[in-house]
Amino acid sequence: MRKQIVAGNWKMNNDLSQTESLIYELKKIEKTSTAEVMVAPTFTNLYKAFESLKDTDIEVIAQNMHFAVNGAYTGEISASMLKSVGIQTVILGHSERREYFNETDEMLAKKVDAALANSMRVIFCFGEVLEDRKSGNHENVVGSQIKNALFHLDADAFKHIVLAYEPVWAIGTGETASPEQAQDMHAFIRKTLADKYGNEVADSVSILYGGSVKPNNAQEIFSKPDVDGGLIGGAALNATDFFAIVNAF
Ligand code: PEP
């Protein structure tokens, strides 16, 4: 049975006191679904968030990391640094990292390797831009993002990988892929995995959808057979909305 996961990406939002307030609100809400819940505060608040949430079933995860072990990489954070403050899971390949920080598939392959070498779990993000969708090239783009960054791995590595399909045109825009568009792409992703690693691996990997998921559309999107949860941006900044999405399962 695949894990259902709802992860909130707080991006570059919330200073320390705002982080504490949001965590306080999150802890007050009852979780009625079986989905795993994760939140990704900014680096400076990870330790505080981890300490505040360690006795709950909300996992604190990181938004990014560098691939090097350590060294002269000013401003960067390594896998072992994340582990040292309790973080076990990292989001890699978010479209904002790809677009604004020039992260390439090649760089992401190294980041994935570094995370796995440190026994971390990876939420690996990818997705097409609007022009690719309009020209009908979306499956090719998504297929190569997955192959280029992940297909050097052995089948066992996929026990530690969660995929997050996030069409760039739906992130933060209020425009959501229709549940059918999400299902079609998730089925394509699963087939891409099956062609390379076989059905057992393909059927075991959780594939999240991300892109303007809100309380009013979560249930329909999550009801699709190949959608195993969501990566949530804007709506994750409000505890009530976030838990409405979590409890949509
Ligand atoms: C995201 O940034 O991963 C995301 C899905 O954002 P939003 O929910 O705001 O579209």
pLDDT tens digits, one per residue of 83-114: 999 999 999 999 999 999 999 999 999 999 99
Find the 70 Cα to ligand 1 centroid distance in Å.
Answer: 30
- Note the maximum CA span of the chain: 48
- Whole-model pTM over 0.95: yes
Please give the average per-residue pLDDT across 114-125, as a whole number: 98
pLDDT value of residue 1: 78
pLDDT value of residue 176: 84
Find the 78 Cα to ligand 1 centroid distance in Å.
Answer: 24
Q: Is the Cβ atom of 212 under 6 angstroms away from ligand 1?
A: yes
59 classed as catalytic = no
Rounded Cα distance, 193 and 189, in Å: 6
pLDDT confidence of 124, banded at 50, 70, 90? Answer: very high
**pLDDT, tens digit (0-9, with 9 covering 90-100), for 186-218:** 999 999 999 999 999 999 999 999 999 999 999
The 3-state DSSP class for residue 202 equals: helix
For tokens 């022009």, name the residue: 131
As a whole number, the mean pLDDT across the chain is 97
pLDDT value of residue 83: 98
Rounded Cα distance, 155 and 202, in Å: 10
Q: Which of 154, 157, 162, 89 is nearest to 125 (CA)?
A: 162
Please say if the pLDDT value at position 24 is more than 90: yes
pLDDT value of residue 7: 98
Which one of the listed residues 66, 138, 166, 186 is annotated catalytic? 166
Q: Is the Cβ atom of 234 under 6 angstroms away from ligand 1?
A: yes
149 and 122 Cβ atoms separated by less than 8 Å: no
Q: What one-letter code names the amino acid at 25? A: E
94 classed as catalytic = yes
pLDDT confidence of 172, banded at 50, 70, 90? Answer: confident
